[in-house]
Amino acid sequence: MAFLSDTLARVKPSPTIAVTTKAAELKAAGRDVIGLGAGEPDFDTPQNIKDAAKRAIDEGKTKYTAVDGIPELKKAICAKFERENGLRYAPNQISVGTGGKQILYNALIATCNPGDEVIIPAPYWVSYPDMVLLAGGTPVPVVATLENDFKITAAQLEAAITPKTKWFIFNSPSNPTGAGYSHDELKALTDVLMRHPQVWIMSDDMYEHLVFDDFEFVTPVQIEPGLYDRTLTCNGVSKAYAMTGWRIGYAAGPVELIKAMAKVQSQSTSNPCSVSQYAALEGLTGPQEFLTENKALFQRRRDLVVSMLNTCPGITCPKPEGAFYVYPDIAGCIGKTSAGGAHIVDDEAFATALLEETGVAVVFGAAFGLSPNFRVSYATSDEALREACTRIKAFCEGLK
Ligand SMILES: Cc1ncc(COP(=O)(O)O)c(C=O)c1O
């Protein structure tokens, strides 16, 4: 009898975590490595949030809490949805979990049966398909190309929906492309969804606050209130408040689904960390200037990286609307040989040779469901970004 489950055999470990680990190992071994793999802000959690956590510890808020969140935090999340998205939810429509990741996972585990299909626009965040597989569902990728700015069209969505479709996972701005759907682009999708009442919508709004120029963030229920009863609007404090390690994510949706998610969580992690919940409460209710400052910082970095990568031979780098990623196309590099003798047969070979020969760590496109590309996380210093792009350019110039 096999020890490991059949389900586990179908999933792969997170390639982004693998790249980050590999870069850290090389660094520890003394190599000069610039990591552009990790999807987290490079700066610290704001002081007011850290202070709130210290207060929570001193006040003894160190016990189990309600499974899916303390009432104060749920109230603050309701206020956030009303303030920032014009959406009204009651506290019993809110779920708080150990990161956005657990929220999405709880929802999939609570709802997927074998054969249920989950539509996932590609390139996608690496965890979506594997979480669907762990939940017993079938991921159905729908590929958005560079020509369409990495966004799927209404016709593509319509064509992917079948009687077995349970969820449509929507992520804007996107990890890994940074692509953000405008009001009209999203309306075209919500119009399709209105015609298919069996399809539920999981909107992953994790990068809501990281949008640039005059781009306006929108979430599906805001555009189409008719989807309110079958949408789970997911978000979290990880990226917006530089709180990745605190592990707090949340969602709003129909009571029945929220209750089902709490049932899953009650049998896995119980509640999210009590201290982190008080920290997140301060994040959502305290001063918000931090968000605007971050936006300006990331916009400057995006502009720097896009302009530098577009000077690299064989690379085309579109300018995305948000998040802290770019997803350059490297079609012009495939089939060549690097200065170090590596044959660049695909984007994984490109990323491997780039790391070995220049010390720049990026994640290859195949991990996200669209090749040949790689993902750059520009959540690092301007200086490191400049140096990394210079090395990438030298690497590309060396391809023969
Ligand atoms: C699109 C997207 N959703 C969700 C998450 C999960 O965030 P958390 O750290 O809160 O689990 C991430 C993290 O990389 C992400 O990129």
How far apart are the C-alpha atoms of 241 and 238, rounded to whole Å? Answer: 6
Looking at every residue in the chain, the average pLDDT score rounds to 96
pLDDT the model gives residue 40: 87
User: Is the pLDDT score of 261 beyond 80?
Assistant: yes
**Is the shortest distance between the CB of 204 and ligand 1 below 6 Å?**
yes
pLDDT the model gives residue 271: 98
Instruction: Select the CATH number that applies to the domain covering 6-44+290-398 from these four: 3.90.1150.10, 1.25.40.10, 3.30.110.40, 3.40.50.980.
Output: 3.90.1150.10
User: Is the pLDDT score of 13 beyond 80?
Assistant: no
User: Is the pLDDT score of 14 beyond 80?
Assistant: no
pLDDT the model gives residue 192: 98
User: Is the pLDDT score of 15 beyond 80?
Assistant: no
Q: Give, using CA atoms, the residue closest to atom 7 of ligand 1.
A: 100
**Is the shortest distance between the CB of 101 and ligand 1 below 6 Å?**
yes
Ligand 1 atom with least separation from CA of 249: 10
Q: How far apart are the first and last CA of the chain?
A: 51
Task: Please say whether the dihedral angle defined by the alpha carbons of residues 147, 150, 155 and 161, taken in this order, is positive or negative.
Answer: positive
pLDDT the model gives residue 21: 82
pLDDT the model gives residue 275: 98
Average pLDDT of the residues in 283-293: 94
pLDDT digits (tens, 9 = 90+) for 340-368: 999 999 999 999 999 999 999 999 999 99
Confidence of residue 8 (pLDDT cuts 50, 70, 90): confident
User: Is the pLDDT score of 17 beyond 90?
Assistant: no
Q: Which of 24-28, 223-227, 386-390 has the lowest mean pLDDT?
A: 24-28
pLDDT the model gives residue 90: 98
Residue 357: half-sphere exposure toward Cβ, Cα within 13 Å? 22
DSSP, collapsed to helix, strand or coil, labels residue 375 as strand
Q: Are strands 165-171 and 200-204 parallel, antiparallel or unpaired?
A: parallel
Q: Are strands 325-326 and 249-252 parallel, antiparallel or unpaired?
A: unpaired
Q: Give, using CA atoms, the residue closest to atom 2 of ligand 1.
A: 206
pLDDT digits (tens, 9 = 90+) for 115-129: 999 999 999 999 999
Distance from residue 164's CA to the centre of ligand 1 (Å): 26
Confidence of residue 12 (pLDDT cuts 50, 70, 90): confident
Average pLDDT of the residues in 283-312: 95
177 contacts 150 by C-beta, under 8 angstroms? yes
Q: Which of 125, 202, 233, 247 to mutate to test the pocket of ligand 1 (most atoms within 8 A of CB)?
A: 125
Cβ neighbours for 177, distance < 8 A, ≥ 6 positions apart: 123, 144, 150, 318, 320, 323, 325, 326, 327
Domain boundaries, the chain: 6-44+290-398, 63-285
Distance from residue 321's CA to the centre of ligand 1 (Å): 18
Q: Which two tokens stand for residue 235?
A: 């978000």
pLDDT the model gives residue 45: 97
CA dihedral 105→129→145→313, nearest 10 degrees, is 100
Ligand 1 atom with least separation from CA of 40: 14
pLDDT > 70 fraction of the chain, expressed in percent and rounded: 100
Q: Give, using CA atoms, the residue closest to atom 13 of ligand 1.
A: 39
pLDDT digits (tens, 9 = 90+) for 310-335: 999 999 999 999 999 999 999 999 99
Ligand 1 atom with least separation from CA of 236: 10
Confidence of residue 6 (pLDDT cuts 50, 70, 90): confident
**DSSP class of 99:** H
Distance from residue 206's CA to the centre of ligand 1 (Å): 6
Residue 7: half-sphere exposure toward Cβ, Cα within 13 Å? 12
Q: Which two tokens stand for residue 110?
A: 């609570």
Q: Considering only CA atoms, which of 229, 135, 120, 112 is closest in space to residue 168?
A: 120
DSSP, collapsed to helix, strand or coil, labels residue 309 as helix
Residue 254: phi and psi, rounded to 5, are: -60, 145
Distance from residue 247's CA to the centre of ligand 1 (Å): 10
- If residue 190 lies in a helix (H) or strand (E), which one and from where to where? helix 183-194
Q: Give, using CA atoms, the residue closest to atom 14 of ligand 1.
A: 39
Q: Considering only CA atoms, which of 322, 309, 324, 321 is closest in space to residue 373?
A: 309
pLDDT the model gives residue 338: 98
pLDDT the model gives residue 1: 81
pLDDT the model gives residue 298: 96
Protein fold of 63-285 = Aspartate Aminotransferase; domain 2 (3.40.640)
pLDDT digits (tens, 9 = 90+) for 51-61: 999 999 999 99
